Amino acid sequence: MATSNGTIIPAPLGLLAELTHRCPLGCPYCSNPLALDKRVDELDTASWARVCREAAALGVLQVHLSGGEPAARRDLPDIVKAAREAGLYSNLITSAVGLTPQTLAALAAAGLDHVQISIQDSDEASADHIAGFKSAFARKRALAKEVVRLGLPLTINMVVHRANIGRIEAMVDLSLSLGASRVEIAHVQYYGWALKNRAALMPTGEQVDDAVRTVEMLRDRHRGQIVIDAVVPDYYARFPKPCVGGWGRRSLNVTPAGRVLPCHAAEVIPGLEFWNVREHSLADIWRASPAFLAFRDTNWMREPCQSCPRREQDFGGCRCQAFLLTGDARATDPVCHLSPQHAIVAQAAAERAEKAYEYRS
């Protein structure tokens, strides 16, 4: 498949399946939209099984079962089974709160391949405060041990911001103690709820520099024991990240209600038409959905992106971030130091406030 400028677009590799927006936690950096899909609007079991089959036929190799909290759905083992029968590698992204050992065992029996647990901090009191749920930390530790006991590969996801960025070493130590094979040091991405809480979450430049040095030191120390993934947070980068590998180029995101997005935040951009799996096949959506075609090639780019040698590397950066910060989805992502609007990001990174979180609700 080729774009309008002749670029060949391969089949997507990954599918993010947002099974539900229901979640027991209230994390102030949640990437879910501010307007959450209702339970009554969620796709049923048969629809998710069909999505898995269509994804595999399209060339998708792995499905990330996410939410909200996917364990809020009682049919989660059936969805995992459908993914296995379709030949997809399944990764469960879970808060671990509300997921019982019995359900986890049923998921393993259904063919689940991998589990990713989010933990808000290495300090229990802080973790529970960030999650907005008392005893969340203890439940996460307990379920992580159960994941390892069942022989499932475990990744720990640590979302980093001003309140916990100084404890990265302790976070990695915790991940090792839980038997994880990988830990993701994921700096907050400022969309959705995180954007509402940006001033309360934003780290200082000094904290970010210290974090980068700490991660490199820990990678050397624990080489061969655990994989440590980490990236510089957008607001402190010189160049923007490519939007999920390029808008509509590598992956698909299906919302609980069945809308298919090029990335999880795409609905913040007004005027885009998102096709739904209730009316269209996944293959048709990938190839012809107006939302996927909107920024898939480079013809939409303006300067400095249009003549930039990096335009096929970062594709102008994140379209959602460009819109949220400038009001124009076709603008150069202002994270880029070459953007004429880069001062917006520099100013936002300097704005910090000691105030209570506005929890996801």
Please give the C-alpha separations between residue 150 and each of 20, 107, 139, 144, 154, in angstroms, as whole numbers: 25, 11, 17, 10, 10
d(CA 292, CA 196) in angstroms, rounded, equals 27
Residue 297's pLDDT is what?
87
pLDDT at position 229 is 96
The DSSP bridge partners found for residue 217 are none
Instruction: Report pTM.
Output: 0.94
Residue 63 has φ and ψ, to the nearest 5°, of -120, 130
Task: Give the pLDDT score at 79.
Answer: 98
Give the span between the Cα atoms of 251 and 94, in whole angstroms: 20
Tens digits of pLDDT across the chain (361 residues):
555 455 677 899 999 999 999 999 999 999 899 899 999 999 999 999 999 999 999 999 999 999 999 999 999 999 999 999 999 999 999 999 999 999 999 999 999 999 999 999 999 999 999 999 999 999 999 999 999 999 999 999 999 999 999 999 999 999 999 999 999 999 999 999 999 999 999 999 999 999 999 999 999 999 999 999 998 889 999 999 887 888 999 999 999 999 999 999 999 999 999 999 999 999 999 999 999 999 998 899 999 999 999 999 999 999 999 999 999 999 999 999 999 999 999 999 999 999 999 999 8
Q: Decide: residue 303, CB within 10 A, 0-12 exposed, 13-18 middle, 19+ buried.
A: exposed
Sign of CA dihedral 33, 320, 17, 146: negative
pLDDT of residue 2: 52
Q: How far is CA 97 from CA 24, 41, 100, 119, in A?
A: 7, 23, 8, 11
pLDDT of residue 1: 57
Give the per-residue pLDDT at 7.
Answer: 60
Name residues whose C-beta falls within 8 Å of residue 287's C-beta, 6 or more positions apart in sequence: 1
Sheet holding 14-18, edge to edge: 227-230, 182-187, 154-160, 114-118, 89-94, 62-66, 14-18, 251-254, 260-261
Which residues, other chains included, contact 46 with Cβ-Cβ below 8 Å and sequence gap of 6+? none
Provide the H-helix boundaries in the chain.
45-58, 76-86, 101-110, 124-131, 136-149, 168-177, 192-196, 198-201, 205-221, 282-288, 290-293, 311-314, 319-326, 342-350
Q: For residues 127 and 118, give the distance between their C-alpha atoms in angstroms, rounded to a whole number.
A: 10
Q: 253 vs 17, 44, 247, 250, 326, CA distance in Å?
A: 6, 17, 12, 11, 24
Phi first, then psi: what are they for 118, rounded to 5°? Answer: -85, 130
Alpha-carbon dihedral angle through residues 25, 30, 34, 40, given to the nearest 10 degrees: -50
- Give the pLDDT of residue 340: 95
CB atoms within 10 A of CB 133: 20
Q: Which helix (H) or strand (E) holds 155?
A: strand 154-160
